[in-house]
Amino acid sequence: MDNAGKEFFHKRYSGLGWKITDKKPLHSLRVNTLKITAKELITRLEKLGVKLERIPFTKNGYYYESKFSLGAITEHLLGYYYIQEAGAQLPVEVLDPKTTDTVLDCCAAPGGKTTQLAQQMKNQGTIVSFELKPHRIPSILMNLERCGVTNTTVFQNNFAAAKGQYDKILLDAPCSGNYQLEEGWFEKRTIEDIQKSSEIQKRLLQDAVRLLKTGGTMVYSTCSLEPEENELNIQWAIENLPVRLEKVNLSIGEDGLTSVFGKKLHPDVALCKRLWPPEAFFIAKMVKL
């Protein structure tokens, strides 16, 4: 097959100025400040022999090393932290919801970013959380309960059915993923899969912008490395939706690509952030006109 496999994607990423690395992301967690301070949690975990190191580009993130699963101890059950990759902590930080905001979380399962939204909002304001797949609802509800979230309503439905308009929207879009998240990814994924994801994401972008207040802010993010799901979708949004991009202010990552396989994109696409592995994330921030 000439549109899949490690060699195909290696050439593809090389054409974007990056080489595949086998470096794995470090284990990481986010301190849940709704329930505990970072200092208190560090003290508790270090007594158990867990090694912690502050993640310099997140507000509440720590890399950890542990000889046992941190998902099976009292501190986790009490909701003192959420096990979450470093890159996955960034979209909510970029959205920066305030305590007075009404926020829409479009594709919420398993609830990590929903709990982070509530944490950043200090359990104030309102979060409306949507998840389309029924079997994923229990994980959201469990995580909200565990983390002490009280400002969130969860709906099992397509978020396009949401009523009203929102100050802030998080669209952490379903995507084709990346090779670090799924064993055998190179053999399973084809360009056709990626293009199919891209078309779905465009519809999600269109629905999300419709629900955003004029002057409101939306963050679009994926864990995909593919331009079709990232920069090319943002190019499409600039051309077809009433939005303007804002700079994603992060101390990590590269500017969004403005030239993709010979195609020149709008210069504002550079305001996005592309994080290659091991973090592996794409983040765009936009305001509705």
Q: Catalytic amino acids?
A: 223
Which tokens sit at 182?
């799924």
Q: Which two tokens stand for residue 64?
A: 């950890």
3-state SS assignment for residue 128: strand
Helix 137-146 vs helix 112-120: angle between axes, to the nearest 10 degrees? 40
Nearest to 282 by CA among 205, 164, 175: 175
Contacts of 243 (CB under 8 A, 6+ apart): 209, 218, 237, 286, 287, 288, 289
- In the chain, how long is the greatest CA-to-CA distance? 54
Q: Is the separation of the CB atoms in 54 and 62 below 8 Å?
A: yes
d(CA 254, CA 44): 36
* Peptide bond between residue 278 and the one before it cis (omega within 30 degrees of 0): yes
DSSP class of 236? H
Residue 18 tokens, joined = 């990056």
The full DSSP string for 41-86 is HHHHHHHTT-EEEE-TTSSSEEEEE-SS-TTSSHHHHTTSEEE--T
